[in-house]
Amino acid sequence: MNKPICQTLPGPLAGILAALLALAVLTPAAHGAPPLPLSGYARPVIEQFLAGQTAGLPGKVQISIDAPLSGSLPPCDALEAFLPGGAQLRGRVSVGLRCNAAPRWTRYVQARIAVMGTYQAAARQIEAGQALAPGDTVAREADLTTLPASVVVDSSQLEGQVARHRIAAGAPVRREQLRGVLLVQHGQTLKVVSRGPGFVVSTEGKAMAAAAAGALVQVRMQGGQLLTGTLGADGIVERGN
């Protein structure tokens, strides 16, 4: 029959090993334990503040709050939550708590903001210069805070767009990867319509650069004057005074 390890060691070593085993049983796993939830009067203040700050974000917002690292919060009758300068409402954030009553104090609490929503991913590899068509992308659900801020969340934003670069299958589609379909080329003759109170003037000129619908484009008129307007989907440059 096998003897316990402690009994096979010399007396002093057996005692040390037994003490270490007892300490391991009595000591909780600090690194693996989840943070304690924040309770008390501060929680609703933080939740209300973060709910207001995230009201405009797309998707369903989920907020979780950790216990303050500095321990229990002192009592306060005028508690105010704020975001430190430069903080972004994405993923893990540090929320400041400021007591505006005596005695004044400031503490920081860690919170986690998740925004569950849909985004557009490439259904197949999209080549550079390819005009996007229905079926090229697919809607997927994820925590949008883990994705680039420029990810496309609405498929209507893909209409009339062309890939600037190759987009791998399954990759999130980002706005900077796209451009509008070029309607005019450099040197192309364009109609320019200038509108103002009680008048409409129509002239022609040549485009100074290639442009897509909705873009600002410069047009050189016959007399050499440069005019700037917005290129419409019909290829007409509109100028408003």
pLDDT for 36 equals 41
Residue 178: helix, strand or coil by DSSP?
A: strand
User: Does 117-179 match 182-240 in CATH topology?
Assistant: no
Architecture field, domain 117-179: Alpha-Beta Complex (3.90)
Q: Which residues of the chain have pLDDT under 50?
A: 5-6, 9, 17-37, 39
Contact 239, 228 (CB under 8 A): yes
pLDDT for 17 equals 46
Q: How many whole angstroms separate alpha carbon 158 and alpha carbon 173?
A: 9
pLDDT for 59 equals 85
Residue 169: helix, strand or coil by DSSP?
A: coil
Q: How many whole angstroms separate alpha carbon 230 and alpha carbon 198?
A: 20
**Domain locations in the chain?**
42-115, 117-179, 182-240
pLDDT for 143 equals 94
Q: How many whole angstroms separate alpha carbon 178 and alpha carbon 164?
A: 5
**Is the pTM value of this prediction over 0.85?**
no
pLDDT for 28 equals 39
Contacts of 35 by beta carbon, 8 Å cutoff, 6+ apart: 66, 67, 110
pLDDT for 56 equals 81
pLDDT for 22 equals 43
The alpha carbon of residue 44 and the mean position of all alpha carbons in its chain are separated, in whole angstroms, by 25
pLDDT for 197 equals 87
pLDDT for 21 equals 45
pLDDT for 8 equals 52
Answer CATH for 182-240 from 3.40.50.300, 2.30.30.760, 1.10.540.10, 1.20.1440.230: 2.30.30.760
Q: What is the pLDDT of residues 91-126, one digit of tens each?
A: 899 999 999 999 999 999 999 999 999 999 999 999
Secondary structure E strands in the chain = 60-65, 79-82, 91-99, 105-122, 137-143, 161-163, 178-180, 182-184, 189-196, 199-207, 211-212, 216-221, 226-231, 237-240
Contacts of 137 by beta carbon, 8 Å cutoff, 6+ apart: 120, 121, 122, 123, 152, 155, 158, 173
pLDDT for 67 equals 72
Residue 189: helix, strand or coil by DSSP?
A: strand
